A and B are shown apart, each in its own frame.
Chain A
Amino acid sequence: MHEVTVGIGGAAGDGLDKSGDTLAKTAGRLGLHVYAYNSYQSIIRGGHIWLRVRIGQDKVYSHGDKLDVCVALNQDTLERHAGEVNAGGCITFNADKLKCDPSLVPADVQVLGVPMAQVTAEVAKEHGAIQPIMQNTVMMGVVMAVTEIDFSEAVEVVRETFAHKGDKIINLNLGLLKAGFDWAKANSKPVSKSWTFSRKRRPFCTGNEVIAIAAAAAGCKFYSAYPMTPASTILHWMANHAEEAGVCVKQAEDELAVVNMAIGAALGGVRSMCGTAGGGFALMTEAIGMAAIMEVPVVIVEVQRGGPSTGLPTKTEQADLNQVYGASQGEFPRLIVHPFDIADCFATTVEAFHLADKYQLPALIMSDLMLSEHPETVEPEVFRHDVEIDRGKRVTEWPAGTTFKRFTLATEDGVSPRTIPGTPNTIFTSGSDEHDERGILISDMFTNTAIRRKMMEKRMRKVEFMLKELTPPKLEGPADAELTLVGWGSTYGVIREVAALLTAEGIKTNYVIGKYLAPFHVKEWTELLGKCKKKISVEANFTSQFARHIKAETGVSMDAFVNKYDGEPLEPNWTIDRIKEIIAGKKVDLSVSEEDAKEIAYHYLRTHFAEKQRPAKAVLDSKNGKGEAIWRVELIERATGKKSGEMTVGADTGATYSYEPVLEPVKA
């Protein structure tokens, strides 16, 4: 497959997200496919940010785990990522500021140290001093050149990016882009073959943006939220487009208010949605049962991040299935659905509104940081304005003097026609207590077993009818596969890629992705899994929650499990290595890697020495009296490159045992 992956690394505040956008948008406009992932930490300035942009002639389904171009905006990035570059690729950086130690460079990789002052001299003469952050534009020029991206398209994107800053800044940046591009053309060879540009413009967007747009298209009129990563960008999109989309957007005081406002708005008669992360959802749970017993259509988006508790706020995980499935006391029907990619976020959101209205129940859309925040190019046809909006069984007129039974039991599918407040002659009260057909509470009676039974049965009947409307699971890939990978939600792209790579290697592998979690296709899953040979669950969590869900529903067990719970997303080659270990019957190596030990050192140095030092190399030392092997991490001063100290990190536990500075020799 013709593809190229560009990694851009720097500190928070270095402006690398803008650079990544420029590259991705340019590629997207040329008709190439783009998938990006940004690894970041929960700080606003400093730290490390690593953005990967994978560009393909055909659709790319994950950010992959290869690297063709490493753009280093700081020394850390060279240290951390230079070694990941494939043969034939390149490493590029500002040579006036950074040095790339030759020991970091893999074989057959070009080192493109940009002599920044010299390259920008002409531009500076014409436009004045170049701010450090503007040097990113030079680096983007270099990237465009080595990746064979059409320069004129990049010019248009840069022009638009800086349009709001006026001609002076636009021209300055265009000058810098060209300077970088020309320098690279003269001093490097391309890392990519030349592309075929269809120039079909594809929007470059995140799952959160697509959920928000789909909600607007589906007729959502009310959106409430409380800020929480990684759900906040739904709120941001909604707030920024409230008037065009006709949505009343409310940032509330907490998630209790958020969900209760959304339910209130739904009771008021509009399509209504709220969104949050796992922690916020934990606060919302009581109200979900209320929506169910009041039979209110409401859509709730639950975006998972690393848990438990505050957990890993900026990292991804699939560990909230148990929470969402178990949310709220009592038994009630609800929809739980997890879109499997960004395009699917659109269809899923529209469907969630449809089913919520049709079956008058809470529809819970699950997502995760990976799906909600990574951007990718999506076919523009996905964004339909003309989605069918059917508000379900409703009563708009009712004769005076006759009794309206809001919760009538005379219904096959359990759905009773509803009415909205303001309608004459259909007055009723929505109660969170159990109630009769008219909505009158039965909770104050001594007992009313008959009505209680009938109401439970009525509500629960919705489950079987709704299930019939949901698309059953489907096995993808060779039917006679020896391996079947089983996953759910956002890992679709990686699992798909893994199955294809394994099959290409001669290990025939197919896969199935769970999308509808409740109601669950028990019969279809049982049949489907019954046909599979070795079934491997692949999940970004510790306890294989989806595999457990399958087992609870069908009795079918998986044969083996791949679990990633370190906060970083599943990647194809990492997953393949785990699967091969399983096939070979090897135990998973859970020890602390050299890379892990260095990350621990990076953080220690950032918080104790203002990043004045960095880890250089790490050596494993087995005999040391600590009761475990340790990594001896050599530290050096960034300014001088001189050895400045040593840290020791447990290779088994990850414990930081010591930090020892190199003391200045005492002068005589």
Chain B
Amino acid sequence: MATVIELPLEAYKGPVDPDWCPGCGDFGVLRSLQTAAGKCGIQPHDLLVVSGIGCSSNLPGFIKAYGIHSLHGRSVPVATGAHLANTDMKTVITGGDGDGYGIGVGHFIHAMRRNLDVTYIVMDNQIYGLTTGQASPTTTRGHKTKSTPKGNAEIPLNPLALAITAGASFVARGFSGEPAQLQSLMQQAMQHKGFAIIDVFSPCVTYNKVNTYPWFKERVYKLEDENWDPSDPMESLKKSFEWGDKIPLGVLYKTEQVTYEDTEPVLQRGALVKQPIGVNAATMKQFVDEMC
């Protein structure tokens, strides 16, 4: 294995400082990502961070890396295209629960089916923050928000269960109040070959007065402290439904699977962007002859 030259967090300091609300969970996520990228020794120009729209989707502007701040819900397909164009880059997708599990949930499921070799970090605050506090796909039942004044009627989506059943090969949960573990999870995710999803509890201090730092602190525990074996999908699926008084953090499920990139013939010739372009005379003749 090649020697990894670690980079300091400062190497990833972005051109502007984040303008998230003071105390927002996303600060911890950004810091963990910068630390994890440094531990993996990824040069900032070899890192591509792709997001959609939302408070957390502003992250690419706050980190020194190539960034795409795309459309609401479309971070995953934009990242898919960018990643397939240049598989030599390390592609990390960042965004929120509304962006990824609401408007973008279709793409999320299909990217996992493909087992694309990218890392997806969802800053899950169980609320729509940028639009000032409406119910999101992970808002708990009964939670009163601006759009659900009598309490949310819908059951929250379980992103981890969804990920396991959809074919993600690395499924984890972090908490921005547990930065050391979060940083380690991100490092593992980026080093994992295949689709890695980390659902991160990243509390919204402005619009979610239910799922707060203290609320999580009281409930979360670390799977690694229980020597959790993440290799069995059915056991992991069962575990993914654990919620309430005890909520697990850590790597819930992990498996080695063939990636999409492994099976795409054209990518076996190296990164698409570095390949020759156009067709030669013999190939064009073949194309024309087929139609004669």
Interface residues of A (CB under 8 A from B): 25, 28-29, 201-205, 209, 213, 216-219, 221-222, 224, 241-248, 250, 252-254, 256-258, 260-272, 286-287, 290, 294, 380, 383-387, 389, 420-433, 438, 440-441, 444
Say yes or no: B277 contacts A246, CB within 8 Å. yes
Interface string of B8-25 (1 = CB under 8 A from A): 000000011001000000
Q: Among A25, A421, A424, A440, which residue has the most Cβ atoms of chain B within 10 A?
A: A421
Contacts A429-B66, A440-B15: A268 and B266 contacting too (C-beta < 8 A)?
A: no
Alpha-carbon separation in the docked complex, A423 to B15 (Å): 17
Q: Which residues of A contact B86 (CB under 8 A)?
A: 268-270, 420-422
8 shortest A-B CB distances, which residue pairs?
A264-B81, A268-B85, A429-B67, A219-B277, A203-B291, A261-B81, A385-B284, A260-B77
Which residue of chain A has its CB nearest to the CB of B14? Answer: A429
Beyond A264-B80, A269-B86, A444-B58, 18 extra complex contacts between A and B, CB < 8 Å? A203-B291, A218-B278, A219-B278, A224-B81, A245-B287, A246-B276, A246-B279, A260-B71, A264-B79, A268-B83, A271-B277, A383-B284, A385-B278, A425-B45, A427-B65, A429-B67, A429-B69, A431-B67
Closest B residue by C-beta to A264: B81
Closest to A209 in B: B291
B171: interface (CB < 8 Å): no
Q: How many residues of B contact A (CB 8 A)?
A: 62
CB distance from A372 to the nearest CB of B (A): 15
Is B283 among interface residues, defined by CB-CB distance under 8 A? yes
Q: Inside 8 A of B33's CB, which chain A residues have their CB?
A: none
Q: Are A430 and B85 neighbours in the complex by a CB distance under 8 Å?
A: no
Q: Give CA–CA (A262, B278) in the complex, Å.
A: 18
Q: How far is the CA of A428 from the CA of B47 in the complex (A)?
A: 11
Shortest CB–CB separation between residue A389 and chain B, in angstroms?
6
How near does chain A come to B270, taking the closest CB pair, in angstroms?
Answer: 11
B156 within 8 A of A: no
Contact between B71 and A432, CB atoms less than 8 A apart:
yes
Between A and B, how many residue pairs show CB distances below 8 Å?
218
CB distance from A349 to the nearest CB of B (A): 13
A contact residues around B85 at 8 Å (CB): 221-222, 248, 264-270, 272
B69/A423 in contact, CB under 8 A = no
| Chain B residue at smallest Cβ distance from A298 | B81
List 18 interface pairs A-B (beta carbons < 8 Å), by A numbering. A25-B292, A29-B292, A201-B292, A204-B291, A248-B85, A248-B267, A252-B110, A260-B78, A260-B81, A264-B78, A268-B89, A286-B71, A389-B277, A420-B273, A429-B66, A432-B53, A440-B15, A440-B16
Q: CA of A384 to CA of B82 in the docked complex: distance in angstroms?
A: 29
**A-facing mask of B179-218, CB < 8 A → 1, else 0?**
0000000000000000000000000000000000000000
Q: Which of B48, B88, B89, B110 is the one whose CB lies under 8 Å from A257? A: B110
- CA of A264 to CA of B283 in the docked complex: distance in angstroms? 28
- Are A270 and B110 in contact, CB atoms less than 8 angstroms apart? no
User: Which residues of B lie under 8 Å from residue A248 when comparing CB positions?
Assistant: 84-85, 264, 266-267, 272
CB distance from A221 to the nearest CB of B (A): 5
Is B66 a contact of A422 with CB atoms below 8 Å? Answer: yes
* Contact yes or no, A265 B61, CB < 8 A: no
Closest CB of chain A to B104's CB: distance in Å?
9
The answer to whether the Cβ of B288 comes within 8 Å of any Cβ in the partner chain is yes
Q: Are A222 and B84 in contact (CB under 8 A)?
A: yes
State in angstroms the CA–CA spacing of A421 and B272 once bound together: 13
Q: Of the candidates B60, B71, B77, which one forms a contact with A252 in the assembled complex, judged by CB atoms under 8 Å apart?
A: B77
CA distance A422 to B82 in the complex (A): 11
Quote the shortest CB–CB distance from B282 to chain A (angstroms): 9
Give Cα A432 to B67, complex, Å. 11
On whether the beta carbons of A261 and B277 are closer than 8 Å, the reply is: no
Chain B residues whose CB sits within 8 angstroms of the CB of A266 once the complex forms: 81, 85
CA distance A286 to B15 in the complex (A): 28
Contacts of B142 in A (CB 8 A): none
Q: Is the CB of B277 within 8 A of A221?
A: yes
Does B279 lie within 8 Å of A245, measured CB to CB?
A: yes
Q: How far is the CA of A146 from the CA of B112 in the complex (A)?
A: 59
Bound form: Cα–Cα A264–B279 in Å? 23
CB nearest neighbor in B for A201:
B292
Would you give the shortest CB distance from B221 to chain A, in whole angstroms? 36
State how many angstroms separate the Cβ of B236 from the closest Cβ of chain A: 25
Q: Which residues of B contact A209 (CB under 8 A)?
A: 291
Give, as a whole number of angstroms, the nearest-CB distance from A527 to chain B. 38
Say yes or no for B131: interface residue by CB 8 A criterion: no
User: Complex Cα distance A384/B284, Å?
Assistant: 7
Q: Is B255 an interface residue (CB 8 A)?
A: no
What is the bound-complex CA distance between A256 and B70, given in angstroms? Answer: 12
Contact between chains at B82 and A264 (CB < 8 Å): yes
At the interface, yes or no: B265 with Cβ under 8 Å from chain A?
yes
B224 partner residues in chain A, CB cutoff 8 A: none
- The answer, yes or no, to whether B106 is at the interface (CB within 8 Å) is yes
Cα separation A150 to B281 with both chains bound (whole Å): 31
Q: B144 interface residue, CB < 8 Å from A?
A: no
| Closest Cβ–Cβ distance, residue A552 to chain B (whole Å) | 29
Q: Which of B15, B46, B78, B275 contacts A261 (CB 8 A)?
A: B78
Closest to B80 in A: A261
Report yes or no: B84 in contact with A387, Cβ–Cβ below 8 A.
no
In the complex, chain B residues 94-145 whose Cβ is within 8 Å of any chain A Cβ: 106-107, 109-110
Chain B residue contacts of A205, Cβ below 8 A: 291
Cα A385 to Cα B285 in complex, Å, equals: 9
| Residue B254 CB within 8 A of the other chain | no
Q: Would you call B15 and A244 a contact (CB within 8 A)?
A: no
Q: Judging by beta carbons under 8 Å apart, are A256 and B74 in contact?
A: yes
CB of B227 within 8 A of chain A? Answer: no
Residue in chain A with minimal CB distance to B79: A264
Report whether B69 and A387 are in contact in the complex, using a CB–CB cutoff of 8 Å: no
A433-B69, A440-B15 given as contacts; is B78 within 8 A of A246 (CB)?
Answer: no
Task: Give chain A nearest CB distance to B42 CB in angstroms.
Answer: 12
Determine whether B252 belongs to the interface, using a CB cutoff of 8 Å to chain A: no
Q: Are A429 and B107 in contact (CB under 8 A)?
A: no
Give the distance to chain B from A165, nearest Cβ to Cβ, in Å.
18
Q: Which residues of A contact B280 (CB under 8 A)?
A: 385
Interface string of B248-271 (1 = CB under 8 A from A): 000000000000000011110100
